[in-house]
Amino acid sequence: MTMTEREEPLTPAGRLFVQPGMEQVINCAISVDDPIDVDAVKSEISNSILVKHPRFSSIMVKDSCGRERWRKTEVNVDDHFIIHREPLTDDPSISDEDAVNDYSADLSVSTPLSLTKPLWEFHLLLAHKCAVLRLHHALGDGISLMSMFMSCCRRTDDPNQRPSAHGIGTSSSSNSGKGWRLLTKLLKVLWYTLVYVIEFGLRSLWLKDKKTAVSGGAGVELWPRKLATAKFSIDDMKTVKNAIANATINDVLFGIISCGLSRYLDLRTPKALKEGLQITGVAMINLRKQSGLQDFSQLMNSKSGARWGNKFGMLLLPVYYHKGGSDPLQFVKRAKAMIDKKKLSLEGPCSYKIGDFIMSFFGAKLASLLNYRIVSNTTFTISNVIGPQEDITFVGNRISSVRVTSTALPHAITMHMVSYAGRADMQILVAKDIIPDPKVLAKCFQDALLEMKEAAQAVAKN
């Protein structure tokens, strides 16, 4: 086999994630019920699909033109394990969750992955019954990586079965309607797409959010971080969703973010902010035909249309500051109105195609600069990945929580939510010199959902 045959180029999206300022490493903290058996974990990984996967068994190199490529290599599993046997802190008042969050926050700004081996590693925190799986984003997006993770796990209620993936997060749309309705919809699609693509261009040049107590900016990705966890019940989110016609969990999530940020800004801002102040988030959306998690075999089948890798578009999702009122469901209704317009547009596919075009014809430096400016001119990052619906085990050890964060960005707030067995944990990574109290922010989000749930229950009773 020739060297050329052994090497594959990174995708345009993968190349973006290795550029300075935009480099992204995913840190996934997996907590378990029982002490971790190091030898059993190593044995499981050695025999898993992970070490046989083309991306997880390749190192990243550069060719003579400076373009990044994947080069196949032999995987020595021991090289990918970092084992901490002692507690991360001597302070007994610090919980396991807080200790692991502090550890992940430090990783987000201080520890890149070595280029001398495939771009993944396991940090086993034995005293805290937790493993932190670190994966370079160039390996794949949240859908790809979560689907692979689930292929290595088993159901708690049936150890012979893998967690179910089919149909998780899927949605259907109807094209019913004739004549003027279809024409009206087409005109809306064209109009919203045009407006949102123009906004992308302006954000990459000069348009930015007004400065608030939660704003970041260029260079903030280098600042020290803190990490806190906001915990939600999926049933509570569904209760809110059912109180508003045709609402989705994502509508509820953005309502929570809008309400929670408004609450936090009220606490942190001495002077009253302007009602309706826009706070813009950056979100990634899956562009595969089937939404939600995919069967791993389908992802590895190049003819399936699902495709392994980074297959996502970028959306600019504005939420708005409002002082608390008598009806917290208004935050969800406003979020739904915004997201419904986004769904009608082709913003996600267009952002993917434009980024692909710039990367291919003008190079990684320009593409990275434009993306960096978009992030610098907005306020927060948000992602939401659907995880296993049922309790699962890894090497026979029941997983109690799955929490995800990533390398720091110019944003002062980066939020990643993962659902698991009826719960949802949102990791809130903040620049601690801008937001010194992320637990207060997490509580603002949690309280927002509880108030929305009470309002939704009142609506149901009436």
Q: Which residues are catalytically annotated?
A: 137
CB 288 within 8 A of CB 158: no
CA atoms within 13 Å, Cβ hemisphere of 151? 21
CB 256 within 8 A of CB 445: yes
Return all residues near 386 (Cβ < 8 A) that are at least 6 apart.
Answer: 146, 168, 169, 292, 293, 418, 419
Residue 354: count of CB within 10 angstroms of its CB: 17
Among residues 134, 148, 138, 156, the alpha carbon closest in space to that of 29 is found at 134
Distances (CA, A) of 75 to 79, 83, 97, 112, 151: 8, 18, 31, 19, 19
- CA pair distance 68, 209, nearest whole angstrom: 34
